[in-house]
Amino acid sequence: MSSRPVVAVLDYGSGNVHSAVKALDAAGADARLTSDRALVLDADGLVVPGVGAFRAVMEALRASRGDELIERRLAGGRPVLGICVGMQVLFERGVERGVDTEGLGEWPGVVTELDAAVLPHMGWNTVQPGEGSRLFAGLEDERFYFVHSYGAQKWLLDVQSPFPQPTLTWSTHGQPFLAAVENGPLSATQFHPEKSGDAGIRLLTNWIDGLGTANL
């Protein structure tokens, strides 16, 4: 038994996942890199990392049936956090270099290349958290670390009462893009919390604190 919330980091072949495990541990979780279906479904939280191309991430998720696990968790109201391309694939589609790929479809919209003079958008940038954000509580003036050339530049989900409105956090590189979304059990960041120093650890702590007290 663990006294800390168990967070599964989905191991589906995406690179650069060990830094996410370390950051989650530092933020107060019992983080476990795993492809075990039972653990992924039963964990207090699930983190979906993602680096590289939209299509490659989607192919790897489908090959490992990770897409089914994400959908099952969300259907049961179980928390999921997507990071970088792990956020992008939550949208309906991604278009990279003319390649149009179907995403997970949790949110409507298309991920496209940023209209900026310099790509990739790499380095530290400020964000504008939405009102009442839990992820960014106490972090409204912090900078976070981005590495990407593509992003969601519009929010198209129309949520009707009595369901709460999603909390949207924006950033700008050439043009505004979504830096984070908080939508019920599903949250995501375009930046890398695990590469964002103390601010990133505190953001992960905010997310972990919202997972509840149930442990494996």
Query: Strand runs (DSSP E) across 1-77, as ranges?
Result: 6-10, 30-34, 45-48
Neighbours of 199 (CB within 10 A): 20
- Is 59 catalytic? The answer is no
> Alpha-carbon distance 38 to 193, whole Å?
26
Residue 17, both tokens: 């996942």
Quick check: helix, strand or coil at residue 147? Answer: strand
Q: In 3D, which of 29, 67, 68 has the Cα closest to residue 50?
A: 67
Catalytic-labelled residue, pool 106, 142, 182, 194: 194
Does the active-site annotation cover 84?
yes
Task: Determine which one of 18, 84, 92, 96 is catalytic.
Answer: 84
Known catalytic membership, residue 194: yes
The radius of gyration of the chain's CA atoms, rounded to the nearest angstrom, is 16
Catalytic positions, written as ranges: 84, 192, 194
